[in-house]
Structure 1
Amino acid sequence: MPVAEHILRHAAESPSRVALRGPRGSLTYAELAERVQGGARHLRGRLQGRGALVAIALEDPVELLAAVLAADLAGVTPLVGDPGWSPERWARVAAAAGADLRVGEPLPCVPGAPPAPDPRPDDRAWACFTSGSTGRPRAVVRTRASWTRSFPHLCELTGIGPADVVLVPGPLVSSLYAFAAVHTLAVGATALVPGGRPASAELRAATAIHLVPHRLPEVLEQAPGLRTAVVGGAALSPRARDLAGRAGVRVVSYYGATELSFVAFDADGGGMRPFPGVEIEVRAEPGRALGEVWARSPWLAEGYLGGAKGPLRRDGQGWMTVGDLAEPYRAGQVLRVRGRGDGAIQTGGATVVPEDVEAVLRKVPGVGDIVVIGSPHPSLGSVVTAVVEGACPPPRALLEAVARGGLDVAQRPRRWYAVPALPRTGSGKPARGLVADRLAGGDPEIRRLV
């Protein structure tokens, strides 16, 4: 069933219940249903054929969700991107993904008869961008069934229901926060969508929250009514879980990826177990202590739009991986994830592909070559770190200016180093792992750029 149909049902049963509360106002379920139906009629007048792709770039999270749900009801696929991108970047990434229409203003509410949806489980019902440089857009697309049929499992694990007020304190361009908002509306609860860091009134009103681990401790101090915290995007420390327990907040943490959706969860601090419906394998090469995490489930994405390349791989038997590494695993055991095998960096809930950052920074005059790695950070998990090759590297100010112009916030390096010559593999490629080891070991040849 489309999420939009859940909205229509909630509007009939509880029309005055607040569905969405954002930085510019609120919508009841009745008001949201009217907006969704009117927006769906508008989209049907602009687009022909099932599965057309609509790129949505709206700053107001309430307007964005109304447009997404209108696309859902109209039978087209919403592609959610960053409203802060320039028109030139939007044109580039939308074209690469194959978008048929871009929505940059709130959808008009066209009057008329209710649209008659013809939903199918294999409809492409959601697409979002992963972190990528200006020249390398990467959009993940998933079917309706992979999106909505996990909702009951999440409800059972978290206890989130219609009486809850769920705080979603992050940008909806992130699949973590987008899923949280759509799930909240599907169950008939109230979604608080500030679009970023929440105000104190929103924290006080929340009974449940979705967030990344490093933000949990500060939230616990300001949200006295909080009952449940759903935590994803990086590993949750035992200290943070203990803090939540002392505050009377139940924490459900999970491991997954934009491409894989839910893979495993931990509802009590006992370790990660397979999410309902998920099979897990850890495949290690002979002699290796760690192996790649492979998952097979109904929740997997279809892949990348427009033929984009990324870490997602399939094996032909329904199994998929994004290259995450874990300790050996057998069914019934705890899954112990150790990081990305392809060098991807998990920082504050975002996934950053080093090659994307390197492609932008290599264009800076004076950069001979560059390696981007993740350096450990106590609250963000890792921070993006750049090591520039060259005897006379460009000034840090120039590097940072180029990063601001060509990279998303999560992708921009926070630490900068220079080295006369990068270590290289036998084929001549920079040896990323050796760079990380030398930096961690305090190699005197690697100096900090200030």
Structure 2
Amino acid sequence: MLDGLEAALRRSHPDRPAVLGRRGIRRGDLADLAAGYAGALHHRGLAAGDTIGVAVRPGPRALAIMLAAYRLGLRVAVLDPSAGPDVLTARLALARPALVVADAAAQAVAGWAQRLAGRAGLALPALDRLGPVVTVGRRLPGSAPALAPRGPAGVPDRSDSDGDAVIVFTSGTTSRPRAVVHTRASVNAGMAAVTGLVGPRPGDVVLGGTFFVLVPSLAAGAAVVQPARSARRLAVQLDRVRPRHTYLTPPQLRAVLDAGARFTGSVYSGSAPVSAALLGRVRAAGATAAYGVYALTELFPAAAVEAAEKASFDGDGDLIGAPLPGVEASLDETGQLLLAGPSAAHRYLGEEPLNAVATGDVARLDADGRIVLAGRCKDMILRRAENIYPGLYEPALHVSGVNLALLVGVPAGDGDERLVAVVEPQPGADERAVRKSLTAPLARMGAARPDAVVFAPVPVAGRSRKPDRAAAAALAARLTGSGRG
């Protein structure tokens, strides 16, 4: 898919929009921008196998840089400037990019790029100082020198080569960050899987902001619009562009639904748990289909389930659907879900190749081969010598009127834990009605019934705004008056 995208942008309706909106661009112009950046990177002496760090906001420039890197056979290390200077320093030390490409906003947020550009202040243990930084797009005072697009004459085309394509950092401390390495083959396989799941068509409008949304859509001839940041503006945007396909995270969906949004076409959501209740709200708001997508940085996408199938599931745990074509699911001796397939990452940087991706999720495979999650291995709660996996029971707590619900353990003082349900009602929901609706699900939990139920906003963290279990446990301890042992 990536091999021929630049040519497809020129060949197929080059005057049509590729990305809509204030920072939009036509298909042919996007191809020209990618070719210009390829020329600029080649002129700086970068060659196949080199690594560049990219800290550019999602949009046409970021996509053009990625396409340029792909054409030259470069490896891209995706950098998040909001991670903070210490974490960024450790990640840069691990990836060792020959060049860091950043926009002015990323440099301003990070507060590190100017020092890098001056090759001062970030000398790392046992490493030479890091390479130079360049700016794409508009420069601000103090920004690094510009990476100006150049003519593509003499630029080699390594787009059909093998090897590493991208490094994505997932977690880790400043001393040991962890980085997922995808090859060019696994990236292409992942995007092919997205195409098979979604089925974008020429002329469609697709709303979404990630690379895995942009590339399959553009390759199919669709136009992409990036979601507005505020829920109110996003609701207006959905009404104005009426996308055939929409990709939003669960927090984005909840916020825009609370803002009164209406949907058209199919809606896909992932990166955090997606409840049947949330998918049901999306369908009720006009979507023709609503899917929860199970994906990891190491394998995207892995499984998907539509709202109706998820709502009809009455077993314990969280049904995430059957593995997508090519994805192989199995369990290890502890019940942890293992995944393999063409779209799986090759390895973690500095480690041996992966035979399978260990997801960290406890799961089971039902009689139809569908994956049912029971919770995170590390989230297990020990109460009265019984192991309780929260994910096995949390879906039942998402009754009408509930935005989010978590089960967390609060230390009881003797190595045991109290089990507390933290429930976040939807805005305007009647708390008494929600408590009444929870009566039956709580009764069905048997030995895993929580010791207390508290109503409060569930803490979230990270760029995807996932529920923060540690913060929720601390909140539950305060609200229930539980002391630390």
TM-score (norm 1): 0.69
Counterpart of 1:159 in structure 2 is 199
Counterpart of 2:332 in structure 1 is 283
For residues 168-189 of structure 1, the C-alpha deviation after alignment (integer angstroms, 9 at most, x for no partner) is 25xxxxxxx3322333233232
Larger Rg: 2
Are 1:182 and 2:182 an aligned pair? no
Counterpart of 2:362 in structure 1 is 325
Distance 2:82 2:76 in 1: 18
Counterpart of 2:372 in structure 1 is 336
1:207 partner amino acid: R
Counterpart of 1:267 in structure 2 is 306
8 Å CA contact 2:331, 2:363 repeated in 1: yes
Shift of 1:380: 5.5
Superposed counterparts of 1:258-407, under 5 Å: 258-267=297-306, 269-270=308-309, 271=319, 272-285=321-334, 291-307=335-351, 314=354, 318-327=355-364, 329=365, 332-343=368-379, 379=403
SS state at 1:336 partner: strand
Decide whether aligned partners of structure 1 residues 440 and 187 sit closer, same or farther in structure 2, where only a CA change above 3 A counts. farther
Distance 1:79 1:223 in 2: 36
Q: Which runs of 5+ in 2 are unaligned?
A: 103-134, 137-146, 310-318, 381-389, 414-461
The structure showing larger relative contact order (alpha-carbon pairs under 8 Å, at least 6 residues apart) is 1
Distance 1:121 1:335 in 2: 35
8 Å CA contact 1:54, 1:101 repeated in 2: yes
Distance 1:72 1:66 in 2: 10
Distance 2:290 2:58 in 1: 29
Are 1:231 and 2:280 an aligned pair? no
Match of 1:142 among 182, 197, 212: 182
2:360 partner amino acid: G
Counterpart of 2:73 in structure 1 is 75
Report the aligned-residue RMSD: 3.9
Q: Percent identity over the alignment?
A: 27
Shift of 1:224: 4.1
Match of 1:36 among 17, 34, 37: 34
Counterpart of 1:109 in structure 2 is 149
Distance 1:136 1:445 in 2: 32
8 Å CA contact 1:157, 1:252 repeated in 2: no
Are 1:243 and 2:278 an aligned pair? no
8 Å CA contact 2:23, 2:59 repeated in 1: no
8 Å CA contact 2:263, 2:282 repeated in 1: no
Counterpart of 1:2 in structure 2 is 2
1:211 partner amino acid: L
1:319 partner amino acid: A
SS state at 2:18 partner: strand
For residues 315-364 of structure 1, the C-alpha deviation after alignment (integer angstroms, 9 at most, x for no partner) is xxx3331321113x2573321012221349xxxxxxxxxxxxxxxxxxxx
8 Å CA contact 2:8, 2:219 repeated in 1: no
SS state at 1:216 partner: helix
Shift of 1:381: 6.3
Q: How many residues align?
A: 363
Shift of 1:410: 5.5
SS state at 1:269 partner: helix
Decide whether aligned partners of structure 1 residues 64 and 208 sit closer, same or farther in structure 2, where only a CA change above 3 A counts. same
1:238 partner amino acid: A
SS state at 2:82 partner: coil
Distance 2:478 2:359 in 1: 25
Distance 1:445 1:223 in 2: 42
TM-score (norm 2): 0.64
Decide whether aligned partners of structure 1 residues 266 and 110 sit closer, same or farther in structure 2, where only a CA change above 3 A counts. same
Distance 2:481 2:290 in 1: 40
Q: Which runs of 5+ in 1 are unaligned?
A: 170-176, 286-290, 345-372, 390-406, 419-435
Match of 2:94 among 90, 93, 96: 96
